Structure 1
Amino acid sequence: MLTISSLTKKVFPVRRFTTFVSISTLILLVTSSAWGQQRILLHNLCDEPSGRVYSTGDRFLRSGRYLCLGERINPQNGSAVKVLCFLNRKILYFQQNTVFNTQICAPPPNEAVQCSVLNIVSCPHDYKGPDDEKNAPIVTSPYGSSIINNRPQISWHSVAGADSYTVVVKGNGVEWKADVKNTTSLPYPQEQKELQYGNTYTITVISNHGDQPLNYSPLVVHLLSLDDVQHISDQVKQIKDLGLPPDEAAFRDLDAIYMSKLLLDESIKTLIARVVAGSQNPTLYRLLGDRYLGALLPEEAEQTYTIAAQLALSSSNTSELSKVKSGLKLVKWLKDR
């Protein structure tokens, strides 16, 4: 296991003028409004972007550009503007002039507690407290209960006193087991049949001492349907085709797409890849901590939050530091359950 850690829409009031407004003046007003929208991102007037444009159908907004709440979307005649809302993780299409606001792009009502320590029911698997974890090889990968990889890497926490482990995978059309020594990770065996899309499987890791089993830890995972997997793959390809900065793509766009299906496994592994690449972005580490909490792995979350806090402090990022502190409070709450 890797230890890491409005634009205010410019409304020109409709009034009765005693003089004509020339066509050139109207063009200037429209152009100024568009430039005002562009200045939002150029001058960081938006504290945190809420979406991104994913098409070329807007008259002013280029593909790949961030969107802030309050900005106007201006589709060209006959065109639809494709937008990814980071807050509700939805792909939206606009064919009419629309203000991108909280009615359109807002987190679901239960977003604050979805798949977190505040709502254990929605999380991937049952959390075991410190006493229950003793001698239990908690499965750490795949992360979460929804996956798209039909040959997932299987990992678990080591157990004191165990000298071997037995991995058992069972489900529709698949049943195999493997004995493992001197490691807490097992690549999916190439000789075994892969998991089938749209089916549910149980991955169980048993800790052993000699011939005696010590304890076990099961994880139930559901493989998305082939249609869902293809849809996710198409969205990921479009993100990569935009050529975004890698950290930005990982913690905003890719995370939004993966978490739209609660794919903690894909999100966590994407964020870890950026950590391995040397990222020093506090937002990326903080989000990784959030996702570890979603997978009910408080130790990993705490390690990552600690690094995020250090990076936020060194860069004077008070917003991220506040979010990290909230995450650490949740870690403590989970450990004290």
Structure 2
Amino acid sequence: MTVSEPTKTAFISQVIKLLIILVSLLLPSSNAWGQQRILEKGLCSRPSGRVYSTGDRFLKAGKYLCLGQRINPANGNTVKVLCFSNRKFLYLNQSTIFNEQICAPPAYEAVQCSVLNIVACPQDYKGQDEQENELIVTSPYGSSIINNRPDISWHPVSDADSYTVSVKGNGAEWEREVKNSTILTYPKDEKELQYGNTYTITVISNQGDRPLNYYPKVVHLLPVDDVTRIRDEVKQVKDLGLQADEAAYLDLDAVFMSKLLLDESIKTLKAQVAAGSKNPTIYRLLGDRYLGALLPSEAEQAYTIAGELAKNSANKSELEKIQSGLNLLKWLKEQ
């Protein structure tokens, strides 16, 4: 049977149209696969976010996101993602490129001393030798907290034989004497701090009956709505079942630092150190957070350990970040 030329032309035209349709359907899947392969091969210099829900056509909950990667919500679903740099959860209900426009660093970054912002760093830093006899309250770390019964700790003063710790603010006013220790667990018989209020924690070093010096620290307990949201987001991170170090230095740090909760971030990182982590990123970020809490001595110790671990694992990226932190510490000492 002979097929006429017009019939052949029509058939070829239909085949071409069908191929175009198939390619258009398969292309997004190919792109998504390719983007994931980029992550798997380590070609993405640093993951910038994570998928936190089902609903994407190709990406599962828990998957990393790179800048430039496309979010493809399926059938009108909303995809929840966490951006590490601006520390926000984003809810995307249409095809969206995960880029710097929607994942820009927060404006409040300018209020924290860091390797990215030396303007907020203290201009009167004293070296370790000069600080030896200076009283400094170390924890709660930073000025914002969510724990309404925080432990209180401070640097020791060489000539002191006791310390007086007091807390004053709305609904709380108490005082304790501490001997042979530089940490006080919040007393069980005292009323807890109230959410949304500000308190002054003062530690006085004593030699016998004579006070040597004192250090007042002002802390603000976040409003209950913020505390509830933070705790809910922490639960979501833990429910993903991530590797503990990774959850600490990426997701949990992003959640806590969304409200500048240095206290929670530092305690989380210290828990990983206590668990035996040898990850240089844990120690380097701990140094960064100590620096944000204006504790240069603790920051230097963390950076030093991070540097040793990074050298042992030939981690050039971490070594560069660690050196930035050490350079800032050197700059502080020269002020």
1:53 aligns with 2:51: yes
Rounded to whole Å, the distance in 1 between the matches of 2:234 and 2:22 is 43
- Corresponding residue for 2:112? 115
Corresponding residue to 1:86 among 84, 89, 106: 84
* Among candidates 254, 257, 265, match of residue 255 of structure 2: 257
Aligned to 1:218: 216
Query: Retained in 2: the 8 A contact 1:53–1:62?
Result: yes
Distance 2:123 2:182 in 1: 21
Give a deviation string over 1:156-189, Cα, whole Å, max 9, x none.
0000100000001000111000000000000000
> Is the 8 Å Cα contact of residues 286 and 299 (structure 2) preserved in structure 1?
yes
Distance 1:120 1:316 in 2: 28
Separation in 1, partners of 2:149, 2:132: 29
The one-letter code matched in structure 2 to 1:115 is Q
Give a deviation string over 1:230-276, Cα, whole Å, max 9, x none: 00000000000000000000000000000000000000000000001
> How far, CA to CA, are the matches of 2:113 and 2:63 in structure 1?
30
Identity across matched positions, percent = 68
Larger helix proportion of the pair? 2
Opposite residue 104 of structure 2, the aligned amino acid is: A
Scaled by the length of structure 1, what TM-score is found?
0.89
**Which residue does the alignment assign to 1:136?**
134
Shift in Å, 1:329: 1.1
**2:108, 2:264 → 1: CA distance?**
22
Map Cα deviations across residues 94-137 of structure 1 (whole Å, 9 max, x no partner): 111011111111213674x54115767857x9976359846432
Alignment partner, residue 8 of structure 1: none
TM-aligned CA distance change 1:73 to 1:117, over 3 Å: closer
Structure number, greater radius of gyration: 2
Q: Whole-Å Cα distance in 2 between the matches of residues 196 and 136 of structure 1?
A: 30
Distance 1:229 1:114, change over 3 A: same
- Cα distance in 1, alignment partners of residues 60 and 255 from structure 2: 20
| Cα separation, 2, equivalents of 1:126 and 1:237 | 39
Q: Is the 8 A contact 1:85 1:91 kept in 2?
A: yes
Q: Distance in 2 between matches of 1:190 and 1:127?
A: 38
When residues 239 and 70 of structure 1 are mapped into structure 2, their CA distance, relative to the original with a 3 A threshold, is same
CA distance in structure 2 between the aligned counterparts of 1:69 and 1:117, rounded to whole angstroms:
23
Tell me: higher relative CO, structure 1 or 2? Use CA pairs within 8 A at least 6 residues apart.
1
Aligned AA for 1:158? P
Indicate conservation of the 8 Å contact 1:117/1:334, yes or no.
no
The equivalent of 1:4 in structure 2 is none
How big is the alpha-carbon RMSD for the aligned residues of Structure 1 and Structure 2?
A: 2.2
Contact 1:135 1:207 in 2 (8 A): no
Unaligned 5+ segments in structure 1 are 1-17
Q: Is the 8 A contact 2:86 2:103 kept in 1?
A: yes
Contact 1:289–1:301 (8 Å) recurs in 2: yes
SS at match of 2:148: coil
Contact 1:232 1:258 in 2 (8 A): yes
1:20 alignment partner, SS class = helix
Go from structure 1 to structure 2 and tell me whether the alpha carbon gap of 1:197 and 1:244 turns closer, same or farther (over 3 Å shift): same
Provide the C-alpha distance between the structure 1 equivalents of 2:37 and 2:275, rounded to a whole number of angstroms: 32
Amino acid of the structure 2 residue aligned with 1:26: S
Displacement over 6 Å in runs of 4+: none
Task: Structure 2: give runs of 5+ residues left out of the alignment.
Answer: 1-14
Distance in 2 between residues matched to 1:321 and 1:105, nearest whole Å: 25
State which of 318, 321, 325 in structure 1 corresponds to 2:319.
321
* Corresponding position of 1:11: none
1:57 CA displacement? 1.2
Q: 2:63 aligns with which of 65, 69, 72?
A: 65
Question: How many angstroms does 1:36 deviate by?
Answer: 1.0
The match for 1:97 among 82, 95, 98 is: 95
Q: Please give the residue correspondences for 1:288-307 in structure 2 after superposition, counting only pairs within 5 Å.
A: 288-307=286-305
- Structure 1 Cα separation of the partners of residues 119 and 170 of structure 2: 25
- Counterpart AA for 1:69: L
Change over 3 Å in CA distance of 1:53–1:212 after alignment to 2 = same
Name which of structure 1's ranges 249-258 and 75-84 shifts more when overlaid on structure 2.
75-84
Matched, 1:206 2:204: yes
Q: 1:318 to 1:128 in 2, by over 3 A?
A: closer
